[in-house]
Structure 1
């Protein structure tokens, strides 16, 4: 694999937007380190392990979430990557539904591995005598990252529509979405939190749209000029400074003078939350981060054209989803091992001993996560499949549809497609997966589920994932665009980037 990564680094076209890959890697590192830093493990009065966020007690650390809350960066990079990938797929004659199936497959393969392993471990634990009420909190904790996949899958599913809106209405689209977020926030200020449920979609879609505009600026496509109908994101240093200062000023006003909490992650007991659902304060935080990103873009691109830094970024992106999905499981395994050895430190939050414990805690977690990544990353990298070796790499043609089989199987496929259109089945599969991930996140961690996950959610997820996998593997009725020959240089790297 090291030799292959070196080859990819050497063959990277000069025009590739390498900065996107760096942002993705830095963002995932911030999420992992941030989660590990704020995890507090203790024992309750009955001697059972419990987990909570240190920010509940460590209020002075809450402004630190302004830096570590980088989920908007994933959606920004995702907008650029999804627009590039969809454009490339269509230029090869592919249909949006097949693009969507390919995109979902890349996300769901490593996610399914996590879910199946956790369900199997939960069943095994109960077979050896563990109580279901003890198993569910552990699995719930390990599946915390899955809420992000639910939101991102929904945004990806809407990409053909939202990209079309971007091409027609440009920056007016995220402006309207931001207005909807404000409306949701005003509603929950006077009523229950559920009044802002639409912000779960509107907030992330708004950030995703700016990713489209960034790509148009980078590739000089779409409309420039002034006004909200422009599709290109202004990229100059003046714009970066304005976004940085304006976003930070708005964040200070909304959190210190306004009604929003300082923390950009949810803390139990607060009247409002910034993250779930996304608030206008979270988007103000994303605004200053975008300004900083634009200001650092030039120096970062120059640095990334050096071989060694770029090689590290390539390696990180090859396993980025595996790292994200398994980093909480790494903490679960380490805590379980230390508890079994009666060697789990539980110093008071904020004490000198607690801070000193952070360093060996982070180092040991890194080792555990590295082992998990070594075991499960082949699922993400495609176990050696050329077309899916590295996110965003122009190798092969993963968007093409393979034709296989014939005779009776072909007739069955043709009959099934006449009964239920391919697009409808794709939408149903994605809806089942998203609903399952949301159900797991919303179900109490104290629910006594036999497999650690809500039974209905587990069935819904596996059924939806199975339908999507079946659709990816079956032939399409229409003739697919031929794959590029191995000797072909393939499409532009800016048209094959993915997240």
Structure 2
């Protein structure tokens, strides 16, 4: 508490505290959402298995317009990346140094998860566990890495995309939305491959709005680069986003649900669709409407210290929340007391409360163990000189990390993987993370 109080007291007066609150709330909502819709049962072999309850609860689909908060994370990510890149350059640093240092906060806690899951899988294999069963467990625990792959791809694009923003402003996200629309036409009319680019274009569009929000802080910034942040603008965005969403889903061809539901004609989130971007627009409007009261509330010491505490381990919370579910299910199954009520039944709803509370305890224990890895990540104050060799190494290292995580995400759940993650994915990820760690230590700075 003393450290939190000191950090709160040292917060710069001009810091946009609301951005930190939104990041914390977005991750907490993802965690609660995943836990809340989880259905536990047994497969034909008598092993515990899980799936989402959304397919059995169609009345809850409109609630995903609020619960799908990944766009909020990309919005605040764009704001934070623009702020840190601008600060880095003001101190004489370059984009390569910014990326190398920026990677630390993302990769260190991710490496902890990857290593622990791999070691756990190796021990399980030595004890005779089936490689398919090992992979199934690790696949479930690494579902959060799907999102992290998308964000890790967007982060290194910040320097060139921010340069485009400085030249063309809000025209850039408009063009990206047009590309998403083209991809959606491919999904609806063919060829479906046109939609592959939406994985990048959709999240980049939201990330660009974060740039515009950051630039709105300065009245001297040209209007084309500034996000309108008045209450009137918030109301227009909220109303316009909801109107577009109703037209696209109720009238148009898009599903109402904003999360994956097997059997639906489209998945609005993978890749991002126009309907999901309409959700992002409405959410942005609501964010702007709540800005002023939230900022006043965050000027109080208690709420701001709580936000600081969550943000110091926010990625750890996100990365480990499904591992907490795996551990709890395993323990309850071993004890023979794992409840498997029918979705939507009174017993299922009654089980939600102890289920969420127990998972919170398990996750808190995991965060207590692994959170310091993220919380102690150092932020380098002085730019490190570099050259073409260092830039090439940074790109190669970052590409290795992304390739490793992407390969794991694309590997099917029932693949026989004795280490849980595919061996090529492990090699690529650990090699890339190792190169970036060496660069952060100053190695290669004279290249």
Give how far 1:476 is off. 5.5
- The whole-number CA distance in structure 2 between the counterparts of 1:194 and 1:48 is 36
Conserved 8 A contact 1:331-1:365: yes
Conserved 8 A contact 1:401-1:476: no
Are residues 1:459 and 2:433 paired? no
Q: Which residue is 1:108 aligned to?
A: 107
Give how far 1:11 is off. 2.2
SS in 2 for 1:371: helix
Conserved 8 A contact 1:102-1:399: no
Give how far 1:67 is off. 0.8
Give how far 1:98 is off. 0.6
Are residues 1:142 and 2:141 paired? yes
Instruction: Give the TM-score normalised by the residue count of structure 2.
Output: 0.97
Counting only pairs closer than 5 Å after superposition, residues 20-419 of structure 1 correspond to structure 2 as: 20-191=19-190, 193-224=192-223, 230-382=224-376, 387-388=378-379, 397-401=380-384
- The whole-number CA distance in structure 1 between the counterparts of 2:384 and 2:443 is 6
Q: Which residue is 2:442 aligned to?
A: 474
Moved over 3 A (4+): 397-402, 475-479
SS in 1 for 2:271: coil
Q: 1:434 aligns with which of 402, 406, 413?
A: 402
Give how far 1:458 is off. 1.2
- The whole-number CA distance in structure 2 between the counterparts of 1:430 and 1:186 is 32
Give how far 1:106 is off. 1.4
Conserved 8 A contact 2:202-2:277: yes
Are residues 1:421 and 2:421 paired? no
- The whole-number CA distance in structure 2 between the counterparts of 1:274 and 1:260 is 7
Spell out, residue by residue over 1:396-429, the C-alpha distance to the aligned partner (whole angstroms, 9 max, x if none): x445339xxxxxxxxxxx9xx7xx7221221122
Give how far 1:13 is off. 2.5
Q: Please state which structure has a larger fraction of its residues in helix.
A: 2
Conserved 8 A contact 2:94-2:383: no
**Change in 2 beyond 3 A, CA 1:221/1:149:** farther
- The whole-number CA distance in structure 2 between the counterparts of 1:129 and 1:216 is 57
Instruction: Give the TM-score normalised by the residue count of structure 1.
Output: 0.87
Give how far 1:478 is off. 6.2
Q: Which residue is 2:411 aligned to?
A: 443
- The whole-number CA distance in structure 2 between the counterparts of 1:373 and 1:311 is 18
Give how far 1:92 is off. 0.7
Give how far 1:42 is off. 0.5
Residue ranges of structure 1 left out of the alignment (5+ in a row)? 225-229, 389-396, 403-413, 480-499
Give how far 1:139 is off. 0.2
Spell out, residue by residue over 1:421-469, the C-alpha distance to the aligned partner (whole angstroms, 9 max, x if none): 2212211221221122111112110000110011111111111111111
Conserved 8 A contact 1:167-1:222: no
Give how far 1:195 is off. 2.5
- The whole-number CA distance in structure 2 between the counterparts of 1:450 and 1:278 is 33
- The whole-number CA distance in structure 1 between the counterparts of 2:404 and 2:346 is 42
Give how far 1:475 is off. 4.4
SS in 2 for 1:198: helix
Spell out, residue by residue over 1:178-229, the C-alpha distance to the aligned partner (whole angstroms, 9 max, x if none): 10000100111112543201000000111011111111111335212xxxxx
- The whole-number CA distance in structure 2 between the counterparts of 1:422 and 1:144 is 32
Give how far 1:477 is off. 4.6
Conserved 8 A contact 1:334-1:365: yes
RMSD: 1.6
